[in-house]
Amino acid sequence: MKRLLLSAAGVLLAVSSPFAVAADAMSLMLNWTPTADHSPIYYAKSKGWYQEAGIDLSIESGKGSGASALRVGSGGSDVGISDLPTAMQAKGKGADLKAVMVIYANSPQGFYWLKSSGITGPKDFAGHKIGNPPGDAARLMWPAFAKKVGIEPNGVTFVNLSPPAKVAALKSKSVDIISDFYNEHDLKVREFGADLGFVAWRSIGVNVYGNSFVVNGAYLAANPERIRKFVAVTQRAYDACVKDFNPCLQALLAGVSGLNPDNQRDQWERIKQLMRDDTTTKVALGSFDSARVKSDYELVQSLIGIDKPFDPASLFTNDYLDKNLRMPLN
């Protein structure tokens, strides 16, 4: 009898444990290799929040926003992270996807060069080599940047570089310019000092939405509650990391090798700036503004082109976000 009681107690304990709840597999493809902007995902996973929500989340490194948008749009991954204008172009090519939460409310894109090269700004880019990875959002959006600053889009040469090779390539002068996210601005300032030239895309009027969580449309239609739970956990995690980054940094370092803690701390401070705008501070953390999405769509359509036009309102939804969670004003 005692053995039966112990057995029954064990069954009850297993049933009552949040980690014993059957979890459904969900695949998430990142835009690139994991860094500070992905730390909330690793934090939530380490805390068991996805598991408690019934989600067995697998995380896969990406190879650019273009690759992740197409993978999600074709159903190869359930969820992904992609630059929103890149997701627009993918949707125009038939990708079935919808954005459910924005990470970067401001464009993180920037170009870096050495002042000693003679380049004084974007108008001098013509005839030079730009190093970045194929499939990178900066390369896909380059025509919009070029036209905005008044140079011919085909006036530069793109050189394929992996993200870790960018700084070394600029230092060795094998390329003249590199594209990169504002996240790693401090690293380049330390490396190049006063010789560093920089322009942020947002400063020249190309402040499009950046990295966002996108979901395969068919998967969303079949699993709306699962996506609701995924967004709830993820939004909660980003909110927690904004309030205290240290636990999130530890979770990231435990899950990903080869990262420098100080560099990741610097990145997160820049990331918080990129996450903050009128909508994320007044409506909800991760929320899209419909007028801005429409403006981004019109920019992409006019300067780059969208193969099959669509209603930009169909690209995103804010329905799964908790409006009680907002970015702080500073």
The secondary structure of 58-121 as a DSSP string is EEE--S-HHHHHHHHHTTSSSEEEEEHHHHHHHHHTT--EEEEEES-SS--EEEEEEGGGT--S
**pLDDT given for residue 4 in this prediction:** 40
Q: Same domain, yes or no, for 117 and 145?
A: yes
Q: Same domain, yes or no, for 81 and 138?
A: no
Q: Of 292, 268, 295, 297, whose CA–CA distance to 279 is shortest? A: 292
Q: Same domain, yes or no, for 84 and 165?
A: no
**pLDDT given for residue 13 in this prediction:** 41
Q: Which three-class secondary structure state does DSSP give residue 25? A: strand
**pLDDT given for residue 330 in this prediction:** 87
**pLDDT given for residue 6 in this prediction:** 39
Q: Same domain, yes or no, for 151 and 53?
A: no
**pLDDT given for residue 135 in this prediction:** 78
Does residue 147 fall inside a structural domain? yes
Region of residue 35 (phi > 0: left; psi between -120 and 50: alpha; otherwise: beta): beta
Mean pLDDT of all residues belonging to the chain: 93
Choose the final residue of a domain: 143, 177, 204.
Answer: 204
Q: Same domain, yes or no, for 27 and 150?
A: no
CA distances from 49 to 45, 46, 238, 265 (A): 6, 8, 13, 23
Does residue 142 fall inside a structural domain? yes
Q: Same domain, yes or no, for 234 and 116?
A: no
Q: Is pLDDT at 197 greater than 80 in this prediction?
A: yes
First vs last Cα of the chain: how many Å apart?
Answer: 62
Write the CATH number for 165. 3.40.190.10
CA distance 330 to 322: 20
**pLDDT given for residue 17 in this prediction:** 43
Q: Same domain, yes or no, for 224 and 291?
A: yes
Spell out the residues 6+ positions from residue 12 whose beta carbon is closer than 8 angstroms to its own: none
Does residue 51 fall inside a structural domain? yes
CA distance 213 to 148: 27
**pLDDT given for residue 22 in this prediction:** 82
CA distance 182 to 200: 8
Structural domains of the chain, count: 2
Q: Same domain, yes or no, for 68 and 141?
A: no
Q: Same domain, yes or no, for 260 and 300?
A: yes
CA distance 253 to 39: 9
Q: What is this structure's pTM?
A: 0.88
Domain holding 146, by residue range, is 109-204
7-63: per-residue pLDDT in tens? Answer: 444 444 444 444 445 899 999 999 999 999 999 999 999 999 999 999 999 999 999
93-104: per-residue pLDDT in tens? Answer: 999 999 999 999
Consecutive H or E run containing 238: helix 224-243
The mean per-residue pLDDT over the stretch 134-139 comes to 86
Q: Same domain, yes or no, for 302 and 214?
A: yes
Q: Same domain, yes or no, for 92 and 224?
A: yes
Consecutive H or E run containing 293: helix 290-303
Does residue 73 fall inside a structural domain? yes
Angle at 203 between CA 188 and CA 102, to 5 degrees: 85
Does residue 180 fall inside a structural domain? yes
Is 77 within 8 Å of 69 (Cβ atoms)?
Answer: no
Q: Is pLDDT at 149 greater than 60 in this prediction?
A: yes
